[in-house]
Each structure stands twice: as C-alpha cells, then as structure tokens.
Structure 1
Amino acid sequence: MRPIAFALAVLAAAPAAAPGFAAPLCDQFGFAGLLAKCNRGAPIELTLASGQPLYAGDGPVELQSGAYYELHVTADGSAELALQGPDFFRAIWMNEIVIEDIEVRPMAIDSLEFDAAGTVRLSFVAIKPGSYELKIPGSSGDSQRVVLAIR
C-alpha cells in the first residue's frame, strides 16, 4: 500500500514541478468550469483570401492547455479555399462551430472549406500540448499556414 501512496503523491506534485508548467488563467472557475470568462484567451483571427497570408502575426500562436479560445476564420470569397489541420483538431476539445448563427457541436473535424465569403467561429479548449499547424491544402508557402503551440 505504501508504494501506491508514494506514487500518487509524486503524480500529484509533478505538474507543479514540471518544466513549462502554466498556471490556469483563473483561480475560481465557478459554475461554468473551463468555459468561465476568466479562463478565456484572446481570439485567434485567420483570413482566407487568394494570394494573402493566412495569419497576420509573427511566429506561432501560443495557447495554454486547459484554456478556452475562439478561432475566427474569415473568407473573402476571392477563391474557393479550405483550412485543414486534423492533428490540431484532435488536440482540442471542440465546444461549437458557429456558421451564420447556426451552432454545430461536432465530435471531430478535419477541415473547413469556404465556397463563398463568410466567417466561421470555432470555440474550443486547448488540451494536448504540442505544436500543430492549420494550412491551406495544397499550398507550400509559410504564409499559407499558421502554427499553433499548446503549452
């Protein structure tokens, strides 16, 4: 029985001592839990446009595991474009996808495709630490992808 108690004590203390450990965004989650307002990171804005960069920021988008985020993807309608990132979509818990005020609560997605201009809003909780990318399928340029790092 002692080895089990010792192992549990080590596991309980491990996250606080692990390198790269990040504290939660808020201390009191309340009734909303992980979706609490204090646990929300800044929205991530992406633009799908022919010949334009996908993401306007520099470097990877830093996300914190356990924090709630919104990803806003806006297509300008200049071309039929998609956004794919199956590894990223499996590293998060998807709360909902909102398209023209229609809420969808999917189990999983691989990609989104825009046939016309519009905006989609994905709300999610970052879960699995790692580095992931969202990109326009068939493109090879660095400006046609964005790296999202979950810490």
Structure 2
Amino acid sequence: MKKLMIAAMVAALGGPVSAAPLCDDLGFAGLLAKCNRGDTIKLTLASGWPLGEDVVLQSGAYYKLEITADGSAELAIEGPSFFRAIWMNEIVINKIEIRPMAVDSIEFDKAGVAELSFIAIKPGSHEIRIPGSTGETQRITVSIQ
C-alpha cells in the first residue's frame, strides 16, 4: 500500500513512476516469469536507416532486444553502459544460445538476427549506438527507471 501511495504522489508531481516488477506473484520462474516481461525492443542495422526509437524500461523487468541487420554494410552496435546496467540471460544467433558474462558490442558482417534477453537492473540513461557514427538516428537512448 505504501508503494502505491508513493507511486501515485510521484506520478501526480510529474516524476518517474516507481519501478517495480510487472507482476505481483513471480512464482517459480522468478524474474523470468511471463507476467514480468516487457515489450520486445527492435533495432535495425541498415546503411542509412535509423537504428530505432528511444525506450524506457522498468528495473527488475525482463526484456528482449531483437537486432536485425539487412547486410547492406558491415555494422555493429555498442553500448557499454547499457550492457553493464543489465543482467544478460542469453544471446541467440541462428538458434545457438550464448550465455555471456559480459558484452561490449555486437557486429554483423552479413544479414542476420540476434536476440538478447535480459533483466533491466541499474536505473539511469544509457546509449546504444553504431560505433563511429555521429548522426542522431544512429543511436537510441535506453532509460531504466
């Protein structure tokens, strides 16, 4: 009840809402429970095209990041502060599951799809971008509340 009152007060004042898991009873699966999953974040790696849109995540919630490269150029994404603010569950590439300790960047030499599943942990604003690019559309901001 206390959390609900605090969240209502913060929302009324126009600040960010208190970040809590998306469901009350996480059950046996814990934070990976279906009720704790947010929307999939989609990024597109294509020469001359925007990377994606800025997103707001909830700390403690489970997400998937789907990166699709069209093969028009050899492109990568990097986001060290973002990758250090999450707990990475797995990266799936061509139906091969990888459970990494840490990630700094992911590079695509050809067309393909990589799917990262993770739990957002550390609140703050983090950037994912195409290395060496300067355009505003070549980066997105991921805010964890």
- Alignment TM-score, normalising by the size of structure 2: 0.89
1:89-104 matched pairs, under 5 angstroms: 89-104=83-98
Q: Deviations over 1:34-64 (max 9, x none)?
A: 0000000000000000000000x3xx30100
What one-letter code is carried by the residue in structure 2 that aligns with 1:119?
V
Where does residue 49 of structure 1 map in the other structure? 46
* Percent of aligned pairs sharing the same letter: 67
Where does residue 71 of structure 1 map in the other structure? 65
Where does residue 118 of structure 1 map in the other structure? 112
Where does residue 139 of structure 1 map in the other structure? 133
Where does residue 24 of structure 1 map in the other structure? 21
1-structure distance, mates of 2:20, 2:63: 16
What one-letter code is carried by the residue in structure 2 that aligns with 1:39?
N
1:84 to 2:81 alignment: no
What one-letter code is carried by the residue in structure 1 that aligns with 2:105?
S
Structure 1 runs, 4 residues or longer, greater than 2 Å off: 16-20
2-structure distance, mates of 1:32, 1:103: 19
2-structure distance, mates of 1:23, 1:132: 19
SS at match of 1:31: coil
Q: Which has the higher helix share?
A: 1
What one-letter code is carried by the residue in structure 2 that aligns with 1:100?
N
2-structure distance, mates of 1:32, 1:142: 39
- Alignment TM-score, normalising by the size of structure 1: 0.85
1-structure distance, mates of 2:121, 2:20: 14
2-structure distance, mates of 1:72, 1:115: 17
Offset of residue 17 of structure 1: 4.3
2-structure distance, mates of 1:71, 1:106: 15
1-structure distance, mates of 2:62, 2:55: 14
Offset of residue 134 of structure 1: 0.3
How many residue pairs were aligned?
A: 135
Bigger Rg, which one: 1
Where does residue 40 of structure 1 map in the other structure? 37
SS at match of 1:30: coil
2-structure distance, mates of 1:50, 1:143: 11
What one-letter code is carried by the residue in structure 2 that aligns with 1:53?
P
Please provide the CA RMSD for this pair. 1.5
2-structure distance, mates of 1:117, 1:67: 30
2-structure distance, mates of 1:132, 1:35: 22
